[in-house]
């Protein structure tokens, strides 16, 4: 889940994209679905001994055995996330994907903002990506494709940890009902287990659930009431669920696997050479901070400091400020692994703190693996926004994160909308904050430029 905020700056118009940039986003959806499919196959083959065992070892690190056994059930083997949301930084050299999120926040907010900005005309010469109903209808199409033979309503099931997202998902459920999809945003206490399946019991309502849209993180299962009953109903095929209970597909370290030289033959075969080369260009080089000793005859693939190959992670601690344009962050399965929490930006902190971040990451490996990732600086944009303090228009110079929402139906991915989060230029980590502008994206008509 991306971090959320209850207040942000209001932009005058949607965030402008060129036609070429929109083409980039349309082409990216199928490529990311192929990536998830290949990652799923790589993990399954690793478990079965057809690929190196260390692949599954890394993806399983720190997970409870019961969840791993559950995720490997044969009936879940081919299931993939049905919502794909990358976080993308536009740089001077092109687009860079910093991470993928298959349990993203912002769906309802982007949908609502799209409606509001379209009502205001969306700005001269701009065409809103997805249109006013793209997010709602895209979500509905995705959900319908997941129902299979199940009958009943759709329950957007939210954990306490995700409570800040409840208003937007409640709004989304209401919009889904307005277009004919029986959907409700509910808490675990509203779910009742029966031998026939799950039912929603709330406000006089008592009806069967056909599909659970899982709006909670797998690391949080022990804190979610009735989570074991929900899992039992899913296991017995009494109810469908998306995204699937597959923690291996929710790890940021998958980027490191994509760039690992020993796995290149697999990725080229699974993705095709063209898609593989494209993804390795836009997904930054990433390394797993594994404290295991490195033999004297070996170096960490592709990692160099000041032109010197790195043989020990602690060599990073000696890097100068200019040499440490890297980010350290938890890979997944942790309350620190979403939003901006747990992120250390190497060139934005004193050397002693950077060394401490490396030590902490290495010490955390048994429970929560961390990754090291190249830092890519976003290009600057000038945006006008309404200042509620002065009640006047102001201009901000900032860096953007673009978050496209892809909804998957079978083999098809639909780009339903793009949320731009623009933070002041002095912020190193871009996320939802009170000083950020959060606004849907629109395409500039009759204009194009390179990504």
pLDDT band at 379 (very low <50, low <70, confident <90, very high): very high
Residues of the chain with pLDDT > 90, as a percent, come to 80
pLDDT at 439: 94
Q: Mind listing the pLDDT tens digit for each residue in 212-262? A: 999 999 999 999 999 999 999 999 999 999 999 999 999 999 999 999 999
Nearest to 343 by CA among 96, 7, 99, 104: 99
pLDDT at 434: 80
pTM of the model: 0.94
How distant, in Å, are the alpha carbons of 36, 256, 287 from that of 260?
Answer: 16, 6, 9
- Longest CA–CA span in the chain (Å) reads 69
Measured between alpha carbons, how far is 451 from 449 in angstroms, rounded to an integer?
A: 7
pLDDT at 145: 95
Task: Choose the weakest-confidence range: 2-6, 192-196, 369-373.
Answer: 2-6
Q: In the chain, where are the structural domains located?
A: 10-251+379-444, 285-374
Contact 421, 432 (CB under 8 A): yes
How distant, in Å, are the alpha carbons of 71, 129, 217, 252, 424 from that of 64?
Answer: 11, 41, 14, 18, 40
Q: Mind listing the pLDDT tens digit for each residue in 77-103? A: 999 999 999 999 999 999 999 999 989
pLDDT at 446: 66
Residues contacting 107, CB < 8 A, separation 6+ = 83, 135, 139, 168, 169, 172, 405
Q: Which of 153-167, 333-347, 432-446 has the highest mean pLDDT?
A: 153-167
Contact 375, 316 (CB under 8 A): no
Residue scoring higher pLDDT (418 or 387) = 418
pLDDT band at 203 (very low <50, low <70, confident <90, very high): confident
Strand 344-345 and strand 326-330: the pairing is antiparallel
Q: Mind listing the pLDDT tens digit for each residue in 253-280? A: 999 999 999 999 999 999 999 999 999 9
How distant, in Å, are the alpha carbons of 61, 101, 217, 252, 351 from that of 369?
Answer: 7, 17, 17, 10, 22
Q: What is the CA radius of gyration of the chain?
A: 22
């Amino acid at each position: 889940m991306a971090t959320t905020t209850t207040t942000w700056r209001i932009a005058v118009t949607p965030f402008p994209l060129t036609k070429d940039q929109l083409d980039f986003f349309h082409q990216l959806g199928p490529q990311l679905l192929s990536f998830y499919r290949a990652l799923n196959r790589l993990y399954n083959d690793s478990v079965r001994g057809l690929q190196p065992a260390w692949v599954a070892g890394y993806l399983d690190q720190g997970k409870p055995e019961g969840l791993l056994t559950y995720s490997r059930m044969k009936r879940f083997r081919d299931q993939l996330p049905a919502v794909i949301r990358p976080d993308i930084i536009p740089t001077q050299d092109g687009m860079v994907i910093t991470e993928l999120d298959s349990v993203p926040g912002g769906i309802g907010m982007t949908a609502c903002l799209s409606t509001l900005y379209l009502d205001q005309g969306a700005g001269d010469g701009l065409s809103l990506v997805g249109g006013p109903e793209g997010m709602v209808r895209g979500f509905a199409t995705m959900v319908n494709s997941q129902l299979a033979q199940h009958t009943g309503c759709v329950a957007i099931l939210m954990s306490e940890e995700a409570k800040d997202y409840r208003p937007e998902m409640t709004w989304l459920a209401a919009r889904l009902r307005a277009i004919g999809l029986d959907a409700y945003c509910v808490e675990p206490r509203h779910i009742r287990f029966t031998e026939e399946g799950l039912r929603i019991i709330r406000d006089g309502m008592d009806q069967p659930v056909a599909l659970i849209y899982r709006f909670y993180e797998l690391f949080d299962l022990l804190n979610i009431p009735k989570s074991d009953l929900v899992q039992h109903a899913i296991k017995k095929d009494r109810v469908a669920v998306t995204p699937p209970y597959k923690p291996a597909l929710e790890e940021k370290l998958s980027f490191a696997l994509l760039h690992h030289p020993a796995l290149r033959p697999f990725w080229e075969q699974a993705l095709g050479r063209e898609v593989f080369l494209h993804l390795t260009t836009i997904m930054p080089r990433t390394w797993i901070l594994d404290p295991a000793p490195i033999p004297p005859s070996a170096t960490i693939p592709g990692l160099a400091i000041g032109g010197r190959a790195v043989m020990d992670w602690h060599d990073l601690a000696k890097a100068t400020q200019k040499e440490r344009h890297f980010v350290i962050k938890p890979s997944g399965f942790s309350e620190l692994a979403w939003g901006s929490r747990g992120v250390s930006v190497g060139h934005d902190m004193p050397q002693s703190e950077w060394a401490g971040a490396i030590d902490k990451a290495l010490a955390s490996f048994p429970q929560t693996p961390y990754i090291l990732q190249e830092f890519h600086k976003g290009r600057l944009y000038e945006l006008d926004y309404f200042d509620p303090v002065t009640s006047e228009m102001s201009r901000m110079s900032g860096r953007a994160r673009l978050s496209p929402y892809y909804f998957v139906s079978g083999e098809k991915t639909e780009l339903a909308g793009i949320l731009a989060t623009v933070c002041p230029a002095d912020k190193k980590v871009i996320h939802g904050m009170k000083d950020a502008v959060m606004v849907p994206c629109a395409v500039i008509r009759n204009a194009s430029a390179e990504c």
